[in-house]
Chains A and B, each alone.
Chain A
Amino acid sequence: MKLGTRFPRSATMHRLHELRRSAMNHFVTGLAVFSTVLVLVPLVAILGYLIYKGASSLNLAFFTHVPAPVGDPGGGMANAIVGSGVILGLASLIGIPVGIAAGVYLAEYGRGRILGNLVRFTADVLNGVPAIVMGIAVYALIVAKQHHFSGFAGGVALAIMMIPTVSRTTEEMLATVPHAIREAALGLGIPKWRTILSISLRTASPGIITGCMLAFARVAGETAPLLFTAFGNQFWSFDLNQPIAALPLQIYVYAVSPYDEWHRLAWAGALVLIVMIMGAVTLVRIFANRGALQGGH
C-alpha cells in the first residue's frame, strides 16, 4: 500500500492534523494538571480547616480532664487519649507478632507453595473486609459471650485488622533480603530458625518497622470496629474488662451531637488524632529513608 492512499492530504490538511494532535496532547496535559490541583484542594482544605478549628479549641484541659457533662463548659478527652493508647497497645501486642510470624512463613517457608499462595491471598482479602464487619464479628465472639463491652474486645478487633497488613509488608521486606546472606549463615552451621531471626529479620527490620507503624497508624483512627466492642466511656478506666474510651469514638459521638461545646472538642480531638497519625507516618518515612535497606521498589 502506498502512503499516498492512506494520507491523501494537502499541506494544510497535514498541518491541521498535526495541530489537532498537539492540541489533544496539551488538552490532556492540562486536564492532568487541573485534576491534581482539584484533588489537592480538599486535602489542603481538610488539613487547613482542621488545624484552624482544632488549634483554636485545644487547651491544657483537653489533655488533663475527662469529658464534662452536657452544658458544662470545659472538659477534655484525657481518658479517651489514654484509652486509645491502652487499646492500641493491646492490638499491637497481639497483631504485630502474629503478623510478623505469618510474614516469615510466607517469605521463608511458603514461597511457591500452594498453601503459601492461599495464605497470601487470604491476607489480601482480609485486608479489604470492612471494619464494621470486624466489629460485629468480635461483638458476637467476645462481647456477647461476656455479656458486657470491654477494652479487650476492642483490642482484639484492631489486632485482627493489623495482621494482614503487617504480614504482607514483612513478607515483601524479607523478599528483598539477598539470598547470599542467608546461605552464608546456613553455611556456617547456624540453624534455620536462628538465621531467620538474626539475619533475615534483622536485615529487613527497617522495612518491617515501617510496615508495623503504618498498620498501627491505620487502625489508630478506626472507629467502626470499636463501636460495639470498646463502646466508649465518659470516665477514667484502665480496666480491659470494662468499656473503655477511645479518641475516634469520642470524636464521633461529639461530632453528631447537637452541642457547640462538644463540636469544639471534636475538632480538637480530630487534630490530636491526625497529628498522632501523621507524625507516625512522617517519622516512618524519614526512618525508612535512612534505613540500611530501603523497602521501596
Chain B
Amino acid sequence: MIEPGLVKLPEMTVPPQDAQPTSLPGAETVPAQPSAIRAFLQQRSSGKFADGAFGALMLVCALSIFAIVLLIVFVLVSNSRLSIHAFGWKFFKDSSWDPVSGDFGALPFIFGTVLSSILAVAMAVPLSLCVAIFLLDICPRPLRAPIAFLTELLAAIPSVVYGLWAVFVLVPIVRDQVGPVLEKYLGWTGFFIEPNFGVGMFTASIILAIMIFPIISSISRDVMKAVPIHQREAALALGATRWEMLRMSVLRNSRLGIVGAVILGLGRALGETMAVTMVIGNHPDISKNLFAPGYTLASVIANEFSEASGDLYLSALIEIGLALFLVTIVVNAIARLLVWAVTRGESARHA
C-alpha cells in the first residue's frame, strides 16, 4: 500500500484563464442559449434529498394504515382484558347477559348476528345475481346506465335513514300484511309464530338484505364482466340460448368471484349497526321464531356502551367489539382474496 502523503504528485498544468470564451467580444451582453438552460438546471438542487424525503413521507402514510389496524387491535385487547380474564372462552358459550349481577355471555348476540346476516344473504344473493345478469345481458342499452346508477344509489343511503324508513314503513308492513300470511301458511314450521310486533329478526334481515344488495350486485357484475368475450361467443356459436351461455361460460367462470362478492356482503351484514338496532327489538333471546326480537353484536354495543356502568360491563362490551372486529377481518380477507383471484386486481371497486 502506498500512503498518499508520501507520493509526490506531478504538478497540475492549469490552462491559462484567457482561453475561456468569456473573452470573446460581446459575450457579456448576449449569453449563449444552451448555457442558460444548464445554469438553470444547476442552480436547482439535484432533488436527491427532496426525493428521499418525499418517498419517506409517502411510506409513512402508507404504513399508517398498518398502524391503524394494529392500534385498533391493541386498544381493543387491552381494554377488554378484564372480561377476557374473568370469563375466558366461556364468554362465547354463555347465554346469560345480566349487567346487574355482572354475568356476561355473548352467545345470544352471536346467534342474532349470524342468523340475521345469513338470512339477509339468502334473500339478497338470488336478487343480486339476477340484477347483475339483467344489467349485463338483458337490459336494453339506453336503460343500463340509469338502472345501474339507481342500484348504486341504494349504497349511498346512510344506515340511519334505512333504519328510519324501516321503523315507520317496513315494520307496519311486516306486522299487518306480510306477517299474518306467513303465519298462516308457514306457521307450522315454527319459524313464524305470533305474536308478531313487526320488530324482530325477520324485519332486520329484510332491511339488511336491501342494504347489502348493491355491494353483491355491483361486484358480481364486475366479476362477470371479466369473463373473456370469446367464452360467451363460443357458447353462442354452439347454438346455446342466452341462459345456457350465461350458465356455461359466464357463471361457471366467475363463480369464485361471485362467492367472494357474497362473502363481502356477508361481512357488511355482520357489522351493520344502526338500521338493525332500530328494528331488531334488542332483546337477548335465542329463538327459532323469526318474529321474536333478537340482538346482534353490533347493536348491543350501540345500545349499551354509553350507559355501561362498571369496568367489567364496559370491558365485556369491548370484548364483543373485538370479536366482531376479528370475525369481519377474516371474512373480508377471504372475500378480497377470492375477488382478486378472479379479476386479478383489475377492478377492485368497493361500494
Residues of A within 8 A of B (CB): 21-22, 24-25, 28-29, 31-36, 38-40, 42-43, 45-47, 49-50, 53, 97-99, 101-102, 104-106, 108-110, 115-116, 118-119, 121-137, 139-141, 144, 160, 163-165, 167-168, 172, 189-194, 196, 217-218, 220-224, 227-228, 231, 248, 251-252, 255-256, 263, 266-267, 270, 273-274, 277-278, 281, 285, 297
Across the interface, do A165 and B350 meet the contact criterion of CB distance under 8 Å? yes
Q: Which of B50, B126, B168 contacts A191, CB < 8 Å?
A: B50
The 9 tightest CB contacts between A and B, nearest first, are A221-B158, A130-B271, A191-B47, A35-B130, A101-B61, A193-B54, A128-B332, A105-B62, A32-B134
Across the interface, do A221 and B241 meet the contact criterion of CB distance under 8 Å? no
Q: Which of A106, A172, A224, A227 contacts B306, CB < 8 Å?
A: A227
Chain A residues in 8 Å Cβ range of B217? 39
Q: Is B39 in contact with chain A by the CB < 8 A criterion?
A: no
Across the interface, do A167 and B160 meet the contact criterion of CB distance under 8 Å? no
> A-facing mask of B17-60, CB < 8 A → 1, else 0?
00000000000000000000000010000111011011101111
Shortest B67–chain A CB gap in Å is 10
Q: Is B63 in contact with chain A by the CB < 8 A criterion?
A: yes
Shortest B71–chain A CB gap in Å is 7
Across the interface, do B79 and A140 meet the contact criterion of CB distance under 8 Å? yes
Chain B residues in 8 Å Cβ range of A29? 138, 242-243
Q: Which of A39, A190, A274 contacts B213, CB < 8 Å?
A: A39
Chain B residues in 8 Å Cβ range of A109? 55, 58-59
Chain B residues in 8 Å Cβ range of A122? 65-66, 69
Query: A99's closest neighbor in chain B, by CB?
Result: B61
Across the interface, do B329 and A130 meet the contact criterion of CB distance under 8 Å? no
Shortest B70–chain A CB gap in Å is 10
Across the interface, do A119 and B278 meet the contact criterion of CB distance under 8 Å? no
Query: B271's closest neighbor in chain A, by CB?
Result: A130
- A40 and B270 CA atoms in complex are apart in Å by 24
Query: A249's closest neighbor in chain B, by CB?
Result: B160
Most buried by B among A130, A141, A221, A281: A130
Residues of B within 8 A of A (CB): 41, 46-48, 50-51, 53-55, 57-66, 68-69, 71-72, 75-76, 79, 126-127, 130-131, 133-135, 138-139, 147, 149-151, 153-154, 156-165, 167-169, 210, 213, 217, 241-244, 246, 264, 267-268, 270-274, 278, 298, 301-302, 305-306, 317-318, 321, 324-325, 328-329, 331-333, 335-336, 346-348, 350
- A29 and B134 CA atoms in complex are apart in Å by 8
Across the interface, do A224 and B302 meet the contact criterion of CB distance under 8 Å? yes
- A43 and B147 CA atoms in complex are apart in Å by 11
Chain B residues in 8 Å Cβ range of A97? 61
Query: B330's closest neighbor in chain A, by CB?
Result: A125
Shortest A230–chain B CB gap in Å is 12
Across the interface, do B336 and A124 meet the contact criterion of CB distance under 8 Å? yes
Across the interface, do A98 and B61 meet the contact criterion of CB distance under 8 Å? yes
Q: Which of B65, B131, B278, B333 contacts A36, CB < 8 Å?
A: B131
Across the interface, do A40 and B147 meet the contact criterion of CB distance under 8 Å? yes
Across the interface, do B133 and A32 meet the contact criterion of CB distance under 8 Å? yes
Most buried by A among B53, B271, B317: B271
Across the interface, do B244 and A21 meet the contact criterion of CB distance under 8 Å? yes
Across the interface, do B158 and A220 meet the contact criterion of CB distance under 8 Å? yes
**Binding site of B, secondary structure by majority: helix, strand, loop or mixed?**
helix
Across the interface, do A125 and B325 meet the contact criterion of CB distance under 8 Å? no
Shortest A164–chain B CB gap in Å is 7
Across the interface, do B274 and A126 meet the contact criterion of CB distance under 8 Å? no
Known: A98-B64, A105-B58, A115-B62. 17 other contacts (CB 8 A): A43-B151, A53-B168, A99-B61, A102-B64, A109-B55, A127-B332, A133-B271, A135-B301, A137-B76, A140-B79, A189-B41, A193-B54, A224-B274, A227-B305, A228-B306, A277-B157, A297-B347
Across the interface, do A105 and B59 meet the contact criterion of CB distance under 8 Å? yes
Across the interface, do B241 and A128 meet the contact criterion of CB distance under 8 Å? no
Query: B130's closest neighbor in chain A, by CB?
Result: A35
- A121 and B150 CA atoms in complex are apart in Å by 29
Chain A residues in 8 Å Cβ range of B273? 130-132, 223-224
- A278 and B147 CA atoms in complex are apart in Å by 15
Shortest A92–chain B CB gap in Å is 15
- A194 and B46 CA atoms in complex are apart in Å by 12
Q: Which of B150, B242, B317 contacts A43, CB < 8 Å?
A: B150
Across the interface, do B62 and A101 meet the contact criterion of CB distance under 8 Å? yes
**With A46-B162, A132-B301 as contacts: A194 and B47 at CB distance below 8 Å:** yes
Query: B143's closest neighbor in chain A, by CB?
Result: A36
**With A163-B68, A221-B157 as contacts: A128 and B267 at CB distance below 8 Å:** yes
Chain A residues in 8 Å Cβ range of B335? 128
Across the interface, do B161 and A224 meet the contact criterion of CB distance under 8 Å? no
Query: B73's closest neighbor in chain A, by CB?
Result: A137
Across the interface, do A124 and B75 meet the contact criterion of CB distance under 8 Å? no
Q: Which of B65, B134, B241, B318 contacts A24, CB < 8 Å?
A: B241
Shortest A279–chain B CB gap in Å is 11
- A223 and B164 CA atoms in complex are apart in Å by 13
**With A140-B75, A251-B164 as contacts: A25 and B244 at CB distance below 8 Å:** yes
**With A102-B58, A140-B318, A255-B160 as contacts: A297 and B346 at CB distance below 8 Å:** yes
Across the interface, do B243 and A281 meet the contact criterion of CB distance under 8 Å? no
Across the interface, do A132 and B271 meet the contact criterion of CB distance under 8 Å? yes
Across the interface, do A128 and B130 meet the contact criterion of CB distance under 8 Å? no
Across the interface, do B270 and A39 meet the contact criterion of CB distance under 8 Å? no
Chain A residues in 8 Å Cβ range of B336? 121, 124-125
Across the interface, do A43 and B278 meet the contact criterion of CB distance under 8 Å? no
Across the interface, do B54 and A267 meet the contact criterion of CB distance under 8 Å? no
- A251 and B160 CA atoms in complex are apart in Å by 7
Query: A222's closest neighbor in chain B, by CB?
Result: B158
Q: Which of B57, B271, B305 contacts A129, CB < 8 Å?
A: B271
26 CB contacts below 8 A, A to B, read A22-B241, A25-B243, A32-B130, A32-B138, A34-B130, A35-B126, A36-B131, A40-B147, A102-B62, A105-B62, A125-B332, A126-B68, A127-B350, A129-B332, A130-B324, A133-B76, A190-B47, A191-B50, A193-B47, A193-B50, A193-B54, A221-B161, A252-B274, A255-B160, A256-B278, A277-B157
